[in-house]
Each structure stands twice: as C-alpha cells, then as structure tokens.
Amino acid sequence: MFRYLGAILIVVMALALAAGLAVILFGSVAGRLTSDPVLRLTAFDGIGAVGGAPPRIRAMIGGSEPGRPAEFRWLVARFEDGSSAWAWISSNGLSRTVGPRGLTVGAYRFVVGLPEVEPRLDVSAGGTVYMWPQTESVIWFDAAAIVPACGVRVVAGGAAAGPSDEVSDVVGAVKTLASGRLPVYLVSADAQGYASARRRLKAYGAPPGPAFWVIPGKERSRLLGLKGVWPRVHAAIVCDPKIREAAARVKVPVREAPSADALPGPAETRNAWRRILENLTGRRAGDGNVRR
C-alpha cells in the first residue's frame, strides 16, 4: 500500500512541477507579447573640461505612453575603449550616469542600450562626449536658429531633408563665427526633437560640436552648468525667447537671430546674420580687415 502511495505522490509532484514551469513559461511569453512595441531611446551628447569632473551621460527612453516603460529599469552606456557604466532609468524615462575619468582632449563616441539580459537588444542610441580645455573660447548657437523643426517628432532613423538656400547661408555664417572658437549648439526640445536637430546639424554641415540639451523649463540651470564647464563664452546667438532670457541671466552676451522655421527671406536672412558677423567679429562682411 505504501508503495502505491509513494508512486502516487511522485506523480502528483511531477504534475505540480510541470504546472509551475508552464506558468513561468506562459508568463514570460505573455510578457513578450504584451510589452510595449514602441520604444524610443535617445542618447544626449556629453561635455567635460579636461582635468575636471568626468562627463555626465544622459539618455531618455520612452514607449507609446509617457514615462519609463514598465519592464525596464536600467540602461548601459558603452564606450569605444571598452568601458561601460550602468544607468538607472527614472520614472519619467530619463537616465544618467558618470562617464570615464581622465579623458583627454577629443570627441568620444558612446552607445547606450539595454542590458544584454533584456529582450529588446535592438534598442540603442549613440552620442558623443566632447572634452575641451576649460580655457577654450566657445560660442553658443541656438540650434533652432540654424535647423528648422527642432521640436518636431520624427521617425527614428529618418533622413534629414537637405537645407534650403537660406539655411545654407546661415550655416556659412556659423562656420565663420566658429573659426577660432568651439561651437556649442543649444537644443531646447523633447528627446525626439533633440535627435532630429542633431541629425540635421550634421547633415547641413555645421561645424562639429556638442548638441547640448537645454531641458525645457530648466533653461537657466542648464546654461549655468554649461558655462561652469567652459566659462569663456564669446556670445550666445539665439532665437528662442526662453534661451535668450536664460543666457542673459547667466551673464553671456546675447545676439538675436531669426528662427530657422520662419526665415524672413534670402536677402533679409543674409542681412540679419551679416549684422551678427560684423558685431561679433569687428569687421564688415566680406572685408578681411579686422577693426582692432
């Protein structure tokens, strides 16, 4: 009798174990099927002064609903030298971590993605850390004055359209102003608008430099932090009223430029940027003699 009870007990335990495994496997599959199919990840450029604090690496992940996708808690930032760092994802989808220490002058590419144990290995985004000496002279450009539609949401990976003739003139003026100085592009937009602006800046031929994320609503604190990294700011050329006010409050010389979304026309655009050039370079446009 005990022999039959033992056999029955073994069978019952086997069935319970099989049922438990089925629940786990079904839950895992259900999780894959019900997970948010829309995931967008944006990595923001980092900045740092050589010999100073290590750069901060920021990224934003979001799904079809605002905030952090429920099943994800961590991102990983990986650098070309093989170093990596974990980054906690806050409830609003923003993550940040500390980049490598001891970086010398240069531009350092990195990629942010999900850990290898997560199911969405295709979600990744790249950025660049710019390390410059603190004594370098920099010039700030409102990205919205150079490339149109900075705040427009675009399909990830979508190609940027070519610039208009007016925007080409603006990029030419930016190149002149950035000669002898290092350009920083101020991007005040959501994460997708930021990614769109950075792609367009590169596609339009703007001089290389960090696309610095000016978080909407935190303009003054962000610009104050930027100035703390590179304090020798020659000027800020802006079109956004909030960035203009914030730049003035952190005591940076401000010059106004038309918005790239509403350029006044070829002649008017050239005249507006010619005035900025003459004011900041001390020479007439097209004149090689600098007035000392």
Q: 183 lies in a domain?
A: yes
Are 153 and 263 in a shared domain?
A: yes
- Of 68, 78, 72, 67, nearest in space to 43 by CA: 78
> What single string gives the DSSP state of each residue in 153-166?
---TTPPPPPPPHH
* pLDDT 10s digits, 104-127: 999 999 999 999 877 677 789 999
- Of 156, 153, 145, 154, nearest in space to 186 by CA: 145
Are 171 and 277 in a shared domain?
A: yes
Are 54 and 146 in a shared domain?
A: no
pLDDT score, position 142: 97
Its sign, for the CA torsion 133, 211, 222, 66, is negative
Give CA–CA dist 77/111, Å, rounded: 6
Q: 83 lies in a domain?
A: yes
Q: 102 lies in a domain?
A: yes
Q: 290 lies in a domain?
A: no
Give CA–CA dist 282/200, Å, rounded: 30
Q: 13 lies in a domain?
A: yes
Are 28 and 92 in a shared domain?
A: no
User: How confident is the prediction for the chain on average, in pLDDT?
Assistant: 83
Are 29 and 44 in a shared domain?
A: no
Give CA–CA dist 59/108, Å, rounded: 16
Look at the pTM and tell me if it is higher than 0.85: no
Are 29 and 74 in a shared domain?
A: no
Cα Rg of the chain (Å, integer): 25
Give CA–CA dist 261/149, Å, rounded: 6
Are 53 and 174 in a shared domain?
A: no
Which pLDDT band holds residue 39 (cuts at 50, 70, 90)?
A: confident
* Bridge partners, 88 (sequence order): 74
CATH number for 57: 2.60.40.10
Contacts 24+ apart (CB under 8 A), 7-12: none
Are 49 and 160 in a shared domain?
A: no
Are 165 and 235 in a shared domain?
A: yes
pLDDT of 257 > 70? The answer is: yes
Q: How many domains does the chain have?
A: 3
Over range 254-269, report the average pLDDT. Answer: 88
Residue numbers of the domain that contains 46: 40-132
Over range 71-84, report the average pLDDT. Answer: 91
Instruction: Enumerate residues 6+ apart whose C-beta is below 8 A from 271.
Output: none
Domain boundary among 132, 151, 186: 132
